[in-house]
Amino acid sequence: MLPAPIPLYEGKHLKIMKIAWKHSDELSELLKEDFRADESIVLNCNISDPTSPPKFAINIASKSSEPDHKEKFEKRFGSTTVSGRTSLFVVSKTDARILGQCLPHLQWHIRHQFCSNCGERTTKDPSGSKRTCPTCSTVHYPILSPVAIVLVTNGDRCLVVRQPRFMAGMYSAISGFLEPGESLEAAVRREVAEEVGLEVEEVKFFSSQSWAFPLSSLMLGCHASIKHGTTDHVSLDEAELEDSRWLHREEVLTILDKSSPKDDDIWLPPEVAIAHRLLKSWALKEN
């Protein structure tokens, strides 16, 4: 829950929001029988610092016949709700790290109520780090999916692409899941060939980042240059992408310097996303 006395957008400016921390008593009063403290997950528990109380995350979606608690929550606490994906783009780096921890865990617990081995209902451990089947004793842990995200370059130009689900005007780097038995380098070459029809030569690992979507991903950031002597003509996979653009270093720096997206304009992912760092490091010739 993110408190915001102003809308998510005010004019053309993207507003920074923050997590609305609420005491368990407040939530219990509001949610009634839908409040299940035993379904929460532990975010931090620093026993060496008594001034830092433990924090938890809980799914407030209604489990009864009552409508979703969204409007009731917003009215009671003067907050507003945004989607999990959107929230990562409108909070501080600190809050983004917290959301990046709790969102995939909560999603995983919702989707893994039953044992994949025998089909019986599973139970959550107190911290929320695993689920156990009391029937066959199988222990289930949250799944982390590796994703290659690559900034394709050709000299002083880089390629950015747009997926239909992106926020209006946003472009980013090419990305895709690794397949079983595939190396990171092979995944980069395959994804680039499949999505934009280009052949890459050198692949350099940049850094990694945990990302909450689509479920729980480990983003493996890379830089890759197209093969010397080959064409830079892009052939889009229209089932995945709706547009692409080649940008010069100066253009990238100018766009990254924007404080917010503007109508009918291109913008790039904010600092919280690894795509931002891929673009910035390349534009500044740091890679």
Note down pLDDT in tens along the chain; length 287 residues: 343 333 344 444 456 788 878 888 887 777 776 666 667 888 876 656 667 777 888 877 655 445 566 777 777 777 777 777 777 777 888 888 888 888 888 889 988 999 999 999 999 998 889 999 999 999 999 989 999 999 999 999 999 999 998 888 899 999 999 999 999 999 999 999 999 999 999 999 999 998 887 778 999 999 999 988 777 899 999 999 999 999 999 999 999 987 566 655 788 988 888 999 999 999 999 86
Residue 57 structure tokens: 């995350």
Residue-wise over 156-181: b if at least 16 C-beta within 10 A, else e?
Answer: ebbbbbbeeebeeebbbbbbbebeee
Identify whether residues 123 and 164 lie together within a single domain. Answer: no
Helix (H) or strand (E) holding 276: helix 274-283
Instruction: Identify whether 45 is part of a domain.
Output: yes
DSSP 51-115: TS--EEE---S--SSSPPSHHHHHHHHT-B---HHHHTTSB-HHHHHHHHHHHHHHHHHHH-SB-
Identify whether residues 27 and 128 lie together within a single domain. Answer: no
Instruction: Identify whether 169 is part of a domain.
Output: yes
The domain that holds 223 is classified in CATH as 3.90.79.10
Identify whether residues 249 and 164 lie together within a single domain. Answer: yes
Identify whether residues 275 and 159 lie together within a single domain. Answer: yes
Identify whether residues 53 and 124 lie together within a single domain. Answer: no
Identify whether residues 120 and 196 lie together within a single domain. Answer: no
pTM of the model: 0.78
Domain limits for position 22: 9-111
Identify whether residues 107 and 235 lie together within a single domain. Answer: no
Instruction: Identify whether 1 is part of a domain.
Output: no
Indicate the residue among 111, 133, 166 that finishes a domain: 111
Instruction: Identify whether 3 is part of a domain.
Output: no
Q: How many domains does the chain have?
A: 3
Identify whether residues 70 and 166 lie together within a single domain. Answer: no
Instruction: Identify whether 43 is part of a domain.
Output: yes
Instruction: Identify whether 47 is part of a domain.
Output: yes
